Amino acid sequence: MDTWKYHPSPGIDTPVSESLRGFPREPGMLAYAIRSVAALLLRAWMRTYHRLHIEGRENLPAKGSYVLVCNHTSHLDTLCLLSSVPLRSIHNCFPAAAADYFFSSVPRSAVSAVLINALPFDRKAKGARSLALCSALLKTEGNILILFPEGTRTTTGAMGRFRSGIGRLAAGSDLDILPCHLEGGLRAWPKGKLLPRPRRLHLRIGQAKNYRHLDRSPESVKAVCADLEERVARLGGGAE
Residues that bind other proteins (CB under 8 A): 3-4, 6-9, 12-16, 29
**Which residue lies nearer to other proteins by CB, 11 or 218?**
11
**Which residue lies nearer to other proteins by CB, 19 or 154?**
19
Give yes or no for a contact between 73 and 157, defined as CB atoms under 8 angstroms apart.
yes
Q: What does the longest C-alpha to C-alpha distance in the chain come to? A: 71
Smallest gap from residue 7 Cβ to other proteins (A): 3
Smallest gap from residue 117 Cβ to other proteins (A): 18
Q: At what angle do helices 76-84 and 29-49 cross, to 10 degrees?
A: 100
Helix residue ranges, H only, the chain: 16-21, 29-49, 76-84, 99-102, 106-110, 128-138, 164-170, 185-188, 218-235
Give yes or no for a contact between 183 and 54, defined as CB atoms under 8 angstroms apart.
no
Smallest gap from residue 107 Cβ to other proteins (A): 17
**Which residue lies nearer to other proteins by CB, 7 or 213?**
7
φ, ψ (nearest 5 deg) of residue 235: -60, -35
Residue type, 77: D
**Which residue lies nearer to other proteins by CB, 25 or 72?**
25
Select from 102, 138, 106 the least CA-distant residue to 121.
Answer: 102
* Buried b / exposed e along 213-229 (16+ C-beta atoms within 10 A): ebeeeeebbeebbebbb
Smallest gap from residue 162 Cβ to other proteins (A): 39
Query: Burial, 14: exposed, middle or buried (Cβ in 10 Å; 0-12, 13-18, 19+)?
Result: middle
Smallest gap from residue 15 Cβ to other proteins (A): 4
**Which residue lies nearer to other proteins by CB, 19 or 220?**
19
Smallest gap from residue 33 Cβ to other proteins (A): 10
Select from 223, 226, 221, 68 the least CA-distant residue to 148.
Answer: 68
Smallest gap from residue 4 Cβ to other proteins (A): 5
**Which residue lies nearer to other proteins by CB, 27 or 198?**
27
**Which residue lies nearer to other proteins by CB, 1 or 195?**
1
Give yes or no for a contact between 96 and 121, defined as CB atoms under 8 angstroms apart.
yes
